[in-house]
Amino acid sequence: TSSIKNERCCLVSLSGSGSTDSGGARGDSLDLAAHDAPDARWPRQNSLSMKEWDIPYDELKLFEMIGTGRFGTVYRGSWHGAVAVKLLHVHSLTDHCLQLDTFKHEVATFRKTRHENLVLFMGACMKPPRLAIVTSLCKGMTLYTHIHLRKDKFTANKSVIVAQQISQGMGYLHARGIIHKDLKTKNIFLENGKVVITDFGLFSVTKLCFGTNARGDSLGIPPGWLCYLAPELVRALRPHASLHLPFSKDTDVYAFGTVWYELLCGEYPFKGQPPEAIIWQVGKGVKQSLANMQASRDIKDILMLCWSYRANERPDFPHLLSTLEKLPRKRLARSPSHPVHLSRSADS
Ligand code: ADP
Ligand code: MG
């Protein structure tokens, strides 16, 4: 049975003044008629081909809830077989026409993706207020569950295999012009040793879910989010402005650096520090110290490069992949397509 997670956000006051509750949910009702009109900004051909990816909501069978994240609630479902259905929270739409466009645009982006290390996008329900994304159901556990909940230990060799597959999936996304914007261990599944990346390009649908986290002058920071944010993103944090952060391929590489650190160290960088302290340090270019880390110079170099303060000094994924391939391995006779076997730590 799956546990239902309902995580609370950390509120960080950015202005220093007392926060005034502007009321998160505005409860705007949706004007359905507005969405039935043809959208002038979408070429006709495009909107026709979009139809292929429309899944009528009634065709979906929803079973138990798997969990709740920033954008919506994920259910185990059935649509020509087992699927994961991400129902978006759309109760608090403000400028909903524009946001529906954003959603459609993102759906148009997903359908272009076909890669072994990316979750299979199957379609979407695009009739408000029923907005949902349907993907294949990932069978394994997330890296987050392995690393932080089960305390599974990844050897350097296993970490390299996982990192190579992440780099392959991310390299593919970037080559197709897609920025993930939310690369984190919670969005990376391990299915029999194969990496499956989820939730790429979805970040801007938070526009649809706007109002769930932000209050007054405070910024809602989901737990474990900050340490994936590159300095240029941290510096751009404002109340309500996480919607307009300057994400780029380079910010994805920074996030990959954090995933690489978690794989190797079994914890988040800046562990136990309050959000304000992390924001201040990352914004100034202070990195998590690697002094106590048991790893070779090459492995630490990858980390430091990915976490470069200047975005243009970070490597790209093809470069990372070739660096990872060149790492000296201890008695490693597996190729990336072979399963990664994990050992449980003695205490779990
Ligand atoms: P987050 O990524 O922050 O955990 P999500 O809303 O993306 O939040 O996911 C909510 C829950 O649903 C998580 O437990 C996640 O592992 C699970 N989940 C998301 N997508 C899938 C999928 N395609 N297959 C199986 N489980 C999924
Ligand atoms: Mg997710």
Q: What is the pLDDT of residue 243?
A: 63
CB of 119 shorter than 6 A to ligand 1: yes
The structure tokens listed for 12 are 């960080």
Looking at the CA of 144, name the nearest ligand: 1
Q: Is 209 in the pocket of ligand 1 (CB under 6 A)?
A: no
Verify whether ligand 1 is closer than 6 Å to residue 142 (CB atom): yes
Low-confidence ranges of the chain (pLDDT < 50): 1-10, 14-48, 207-214, 332-338, 345-348
Q: Ligand 2 centre from 169 Cα, in Å?
A: 16
Q: How far is the CA of 189 from the centre of ligand 2 (A)?
A: 10
pLDDT of amino acid 137: 98
Q: Ligand 1 pocket, 185 CB below 6 A?
A: no
pLDDT number for residue 218? 66
Q: What pLDDT score was predicted for residue 263?
A: 98
Which mutation among 183, 198, 199, 213 tests ligand 1's pocket best, with the greatest number of atoms within 8 A of CB? Answer: 198
What is the predicted pLDDT for the residue at 130? 82
Collapsing DSSP states into helix, strand and coil, what is residue 285?
coil
- Under a CB-based contact definition with an 8 Å cutoff, are residues 178 and 113 in contact? yes
- CA neighbor of 213 nearest in space, from 6, 10, 30: 10
CA distance 13 to 220: 9
Who contacts 239 (Cβ-Cβ below 8 Å, separation ≥6)? 14, 15, 214, 216, 217, 218, 219
Give residue 195's pLDDT: 98
66 lines ligand 1 (CB under 6 A): yes
Q: Which of 72, 55, 161, 171 is nearest to 113 (CA)?
A: 171
Which protein residues have their CB within 5 A of the ion that is ligand 2?
A: 187, 199
What is the reported pLDDT for 97?
Answer: 61
Q: Up-side HSE of residue 9: CA atoms within 13 Å toward CB?
A: 18
- Of all protein residues, whose CA lies closest to atom 18 belonging to ligand 1? 74
182 has catalytic annotation: yes
Q: Which of 152, 182, 199, 252 is catalytic?
A: 182
Residue 42: per-residue pLDDT? 45
Nearest residue to 221 (alpha-carbon basis) of 266, 276, 267, 300? 276
What is the residue type of 91? H
- Tell me, what's the pLDDT at 89? 73
Write the CB contacts of 223 (distance below 8 Å, at least 6 apart in sequence).
Answer: 7, 8, 9, 10
| Distance from the alpha carbon of residue 67 to the mean position of ligand 1, in angstroms | 6
**Hey, what's the torsion of the CAs at 50, 51, 54, 55, to 10 degrees?**
-150
